[in-house]
Structure 1
């Protein structure tokens, strides 16, 4: 028969876990890509060929050239059922408000884009005032800007600030110019939308279009058009997916851990009851079945409650994810069947996994246990447990050495995570043997904490080492995870920022301000060394006909060499980087000077280049170097990312000036912010579960120790002294878990610090956010003290009779 009081803690733990799993899976199901609004009315869209890049690179497709685009548009427009074939040209255009880039809708990529007026029909934009643009100096803007027709507006483009006359207003973001101006600003095209005639079948048109396009593109219909989602939105959505997947996985893992601890403690308290069942003839198999049924009932009921809570919280969490930047502004929560099925199955599965070990222990209870009055542990640890723990600790130490000697940051992070997991598991397995030495180490502080009470606290911890270890285990896991993850993120961030600053030889840095990049006009005003990035495509002979996207930097070679201390020329010379057919590659390209290098630029043209120099792989913040004029000629909408200057200057429009240290810290500030928020989320989930596990264990312990505490009262102790006793015991348990967890994590952190120092070539300080660690320990301590003091106070409201 299921005891409601005994299983309440397991019910709460499973319900909380399923709530997180339910909310995370619902949000995951809602995170599918969306069809861009600007293409919503195009039933069929032809996309340029995809580049052979990893799923998380979000590289653009290889564009068609102006000649190829004109030929495709002509052939597609002639297909039956096609009313118009419209190339969607996209370029950077940002309205200036009060002389500065507008901060409104800064997170929406489409608000910073310009298009040709013909593209308006692909998204069904409605013109609310004025006329379409007919001359080069006219533009149609979003009515949300508050402008009137005939007014002048300054647009910030890649060339600089230019004044346009507002000829009309539309009910959507972005700006629209004449098709001729759009063709000059965006000669390369990546999408052609097909507007169909009334009654035309999109699938039949798509089939005919595939015959026209062949292998030089993809024909998309229906939801498949979401492949054209803006790159920033796709990247944000991918980040949100990683966050939700990690949260759901951690919630499931920690829930199993917490519920397993709860069931194990419950079985330990029921030894006499189980012994009586064995004494009257129950077999070990029947005992296991009974425990499994209890767990199944708890898991199913808690799973249903968790599903309802998760479904109710999903919209709120979805808005929160959008606000913090883990999901794009187009994200909407949608309810799907598979998250419901997963959540309903998660409760029973988690409970059965968690009770597996406890059920085996329950089946081994002997009938003699029914006759025992004392609860003194007979054997805290067996030999197999000692061997297992020792092997786990040895594996953790070996992985820590691998972390310190790893050559890549990703490999080091994986080794560090595995090392701490092995050390945490080993410390948990060996914790009954470690409790004694740790308590003796803390003997003096415990004695000074209250005379006889301190002696009782120390004696209880040494007598019931398995109980103390099982209560400290969640704290160990929580503190180790919090210290390792938070320390690893902060140490890595500081190390890479220091490495970037050390590699740069400049006085000040000019960076964009509320804009995605700097215009040529702004660069000319600085007089410094600029980096003009663009994406080019190259067919790698080793991988076949797939175009591989590469990041090319347009630079002045002399200025770049003077500003970059990490630059190491392996072959050739940077002085030859001039003209319109030269390129500098990294050693990973396996090329030598004078060898040919053919790339496709952003305008879709294929240009044969000649390698003039080879540099080391760590020399460039990209894949290759080109003369700045070459990049500008083939990518009219490219924006400068950074300008190095010697002296502090007055920043031009859309820019600000920062020192080298600030620039180094801000280079990956957006990614670092998201990583830190994700870290805090994982730590919060882990800490919450750890605190719940400690509270559950102590609540069960308090219920089982009621008779012992009443005996202490009969011996003359006051109620206040008894409450102080159980509170001090709880604090000692949390202290033991925190010390063990911190020691385990610091082993991993020191190995990470050593590996980072080797990678960046400079000393690296170990950065631990003590406020986060203190918050985690404080939460565990607070719930532990409340979980032991409150039931004790309730049980001792009346003085027991002698």
Structure 2
């Protein structure tokens, strides 16, 4: 059988090249994603930056620790505690200390408007800041900026927590990668921000710990732990966590696509050889010998293609890493590490898929009697096997059952990215397995009108596609997965975004909305008071603050909350209240959403505020969970340390809106905040994917879709090269080369449309599941399908299919019809 196998590899090279290409590209995708995923698991330790030169840093606790029956549970505090004055005084009595303070500063001057971070000058030395021009701030009115030396001596307008003032640039320092600072004289910084955020102690760590005492509410940071006092101390780790999620999703999708396409391609390649198998059975080959030959072929092709795919993956993985760095999805230092396990996973997956793809077909082929095989070569009479029925129907029932289960039990889960990314895979596989029973009626329906037109082209398209069910299903498979994935993923995000936008429209009553910049740190009391004094204006000032609570006594959960006066809240927003009354909110109560385990009005819940303070609050009202934007509401007293970061202005009846709007803009002009009308704010807040998210979808979808496009062209060439006899018969019957090429092109487009229709059906089921989950969450939204993307995808598939079918057909037509009709299989 080895001689027969080698002979077959030589004579059927076109079919085997097709399977080789599909498998090699699939293995390359798996290896690429595996290498990228492995490289996100080990992040280099982030070194201290702002306190790189400090021996010891004392810092207030920045972690909430709550004991539970199964151990302590922790969460990062949104408002880290400062160093207590008594601790700072005790340390200062033992060793030299330098107090660090950080506060938001907005600067308007020669360099433009910038949001900076204020610090005392004495702390600059520990971050290796060095003056490049001028001198340190010696007077309360002097500051030091990072930038060009030409700024020295310039007057700049500075807004600090104390208000607006004019300062003189006394000196400049070189820019830093980790922050944009502005330095004040030490006494002035202490006046602007009395709280001590960090304390540098020039002493031995043991002495500092002795003074501080065990169990105190401060941290003593040394060595690499000093980075905890830096801005974004975990930015590299957080970036890698996001990268891990992205590449994990991309790896799952690409693995599914590659396995799906490779298995389909292998099964089709075996199905093409039924006449050859029949001849071998007629010559005396046993079913066992037939299966052994085909398995040996699969092993040879599988090993060679898997090796080639691993080599290709080793080159494509660095390109992927470079793309992620360029698009700011990965830290600048991110590279592909020297890992071997992704190659093992990719290689053995490729080989197992090759063997799995050939198994079912060879078992069936080995059971066919010689005469039946010869008779069955032209028309597919039994395309569905019992196994295909079982697995197809089972996966379809499972996929639909999961849609219904989420709708009834946990509709919020359907809105998670992992859910609507993986859900389509079940239905895609189910429809692909059941495709043979769908292809024939669908093809006849699509080709009914062309078949009525003069000429034989329409009739031949209909009969050829309906007769070659396996061929049609195999070619439609890449189109099915392409359209279904693109439609399901993009349609799900678009539908969810539309629902979120509807929530914003329905809940916003204010006429003007002002959102503070993240770097600005919110609006000071003087600014809020000025806006409140505008005639006819009802102002709702709210501050974003977290609230922590224990679920079922073991899980410490952080919930986003808004701190707002309940009397003002009713005027600015219309919340989806399901129980209780928003007006009952006071300093001893809380408004929760229905996602909370405890959501009964009047029930007491233990929560921890943004600074870690524990309180027991009564539930005053319960609002719908919605799409996840409906958070928690508390009063400003329960948001210590947080300043208003959003102002909503509602005009009283009969007010001069134009004059009032101008007054609001004038009051907020020094802050640099953008005053928007309700319509403009809703438009700006319309949930849309960020650039990073769009690039993420490019990684998830783009690579997979390019692969399926190549697989489609590959399968089309295999199918066309196998129809040499058919083309010869048409030529002998009198068809011209031009007519045959038109027929081949129309058949290719018909099969693409069949795959597109099946993919659209899968998309419709997935999107309807999302829409039903939104309705169960009391959010009404229209179904949004990315028609332009789907049309472009189908158009690209049609172009690939036509080119990949017409080119080999044109090459085959160069040979005389008599020679073609007698060509060997």
Q: Could you tell me the TM-score, scaled by structure 2's length?
A: 0.80
Partner of 2:539: 529
Partner of 2:823: none
Shift of 1:770: 0.9
In the alignment, which of 574, 599, 605 is matched to residue 565 of structure 1?
574
| Separation in structure 2 between the aligned mates of residue 406 and residue 175 of structure 1, nearest angstrom | 53
Partner of 1:107: none
Shift of 1:358: 1.4
Whether 2:753 is the aligned partner of 1:748: answer no
Q: Tell me if structure 1 keeps the 8 A contact 2:264–2:357.
A: no
Assess, with a 3 A threshold, how the Cα gap between structure 1 residues 223 and 556 changes in structure 2: closer, same or farther.
closer
Q: Tell me if structure 1 keeps the 8 A contact 2:119–2:189.
A: yes
In the alignment, which of 644, 649, 663 is matched to residue 644 of structure 1?
649
SS in structure 2 at match of 1:51 = strand
| Separation in structure 1 between the aligned mates of residue 82 and residue 312 of structure 2, nearest angstrom | 57
More displaced, 216-225 or 590-599?
A: 590-599
In the alignment, which of 465, 469, 488 is matched to residue 465 of structure 1?
469
Q: Tell me if structure 2 keeps the 8 A contact 1:292–1:355.
A: yes
More displaced, 724-733 or 396-405?
A: 396-405
| Separation in structure 2 between the aligned mates of residue 698 and residue 167 of structure 1, nearest angstrom | 72
Shift of 1:15: 4.6
Partner of 2:323: 317
Partner of 2:338: 337
In the alignment, which of 494, 500, 507 is matched to residue 498 of structure 2?
494
Once the two structures are superposed, residues 722-748 of structure 1 have per-residue CA deviations (whole angstroms, 9 ceiling, x without a partner) of 111111111111111111111222122
SS in structure 1 at match of 2:635 = strand
Q: Tell me if structure 2 keeps the 8 A contact 1:595–1:611.
A: yes
In the alignment, which of 33, 50, 73 is matched to residue 63 of structure 2?
50
Shift of 1:470: 1.6
In the alignment, which of 91, 94, 99 is matched to residue 106 of structure 2?
94
| Separation in structure 2 between the aligned mates of residue 396 and residue 610 of structure 1, nearest angstrom | 43
Shift of 1:275: 6.2
| Separation in structure 2 between the aligned mates of residue 541 and residue 263 of structure 1, nearest angstrom | 50
Q: How does 1:296-695 map to 2 (within 5 A)?
A: 296-311=303-318, 313-314=319-320, 316-322=322-328, 326-327=329-330, 330-338=331-339, 341-343=341-343, 345-362=345-362, 364-366=364-366, 372=374, 374-405=377-408, 408-411=411-414, 420-448=424-452, 451-512=455-516, 518-520=522-524, 522-527=527-532, 528-535=538-545, 543=553, 551-566=560-575, 568=577, 574=583, 577=586, 584-586=590-592, 588=596, 602=611, 606=613, 611=617, 614-618=620-624, 621-627=630-636, 634-635=640-641, 638=643, 640-646=645-651, 647=657, 649-650=661-662, 651=665, 652-653=668-669, 654-667=672-685, 669=687, 674-695=692-713
| Separation in structure 2 between the aligned mates of residue 534 and residue 181 of structure 1, nearest angstrom | 28
Q: Tell me if structure 1 keeps the 8 A contact 2:601–2:621.
A: no
Assess, with a 3 A threshold, how the Cα gap between structure 1 residues 44 and 789 changes in structure 2: closer, same or farther.
farther
Shift of 1:452: 0.9
| Separation in structure 1 between the aligned mates of residue 303 and residue 502 of structure 2, nearest angstrom | 53
SS in structure 2 at match of 1:635 = coil
Shift of 1:431: 0.7
Partner of 1:130: 134
Shift of 1:752: 2.0
In the alignment, which of 242, 246, 249 is matched to residue 239 of structure 1?
242
More displaced, 27-36 or 347-356?
A: 27-36
Whether 2:224 is the aligned partner of 1:222: answer yes
| Separation in structure 2 between the aligned mates of residue 513 and residue 385 of structure 1, nearest angstrom | 57
Assess, with a 3 A threshold, how the Cα gap between structure 1 residues 494 and 716 changes in structure 2: closer, same or farther.
same
Whether 2:184 is the aligned partner of 1:177: answer yes
Assess, with a 3 A threshold, how the Cα gap between structure 1 residues 463 and 547 changes in structure 2: closer, same or farther.
closer
Partner of 2:796: 779
Shift of 1:787: 0.7
Once the two structures are superposed, residues 230-274 of structure 1 have per-residue CA deviations (whole angstroms, 9 ceiling, x without a partner) of 177765554343222222222222111122222222222344556
Q: Tell me if structure 1 keeps the 8 A contact 2:498–2:687.
A: no
How many residue pairs were aligned? 761
SS in structure 2 at match of 1:710 = helix
Q: Cα RMSD (Å) of the superposition?
A: 4.2
Shift of 1:114: 2.6
In the alignment, which of 258, 261, 264 is matched to residue 261 of structure 1?
264
Assess, with a 3 A threshold, how the Cα gap between structure 1 residues 196 and 795 changes in structure 2: closer, same or farther.
farther
Q: Tell me if structure 1 keeps the 8 A contact 2:541–2:645.
A: yes
More displaced, 514-523 or 120-129?
A: 514-523
Whether 2:810 is the aligned partner of 1:789: answer no
| Separation in structure 1 between the aligned mates of residue 332 and residue 760 of structure 2, nearest angstrom | 39
Q: Identify unmatched segments of 5+ residues in structure 2.
A: 1-5, 67-73, 533-537, 652-656, 820-825
Q: Tell me if structure 2 keeps the 8 A contact 1:7–1:298.
A: no
| Separation in structure 2 between the aligned mates of residue 100 and residue 514 of structure 1, nearest angstrom | 18
Assess, with a 3 A threshold, how the Cα gap between structure 1 residues 791 and 541 changes in structure 2: closer, same or farther.
closer
| Separation in structure 1 between the aligned mates of residue 80 and residue 522 of structure 2, nearest angstrom | 23
Q: Identify unmatched segments of 5+ residues in structure 1.
A: 103-110
Assess, with a 3 A threshold, how the Cα gap between structure 1 residues 471 and 554 changes in structure 2: closer, same or farther.
same
| Separation in structure 2 between the aligned mates of residue 699 and residue 615 of structure 1, nearest angstrom | 64
Shift of 1:498: 0.9
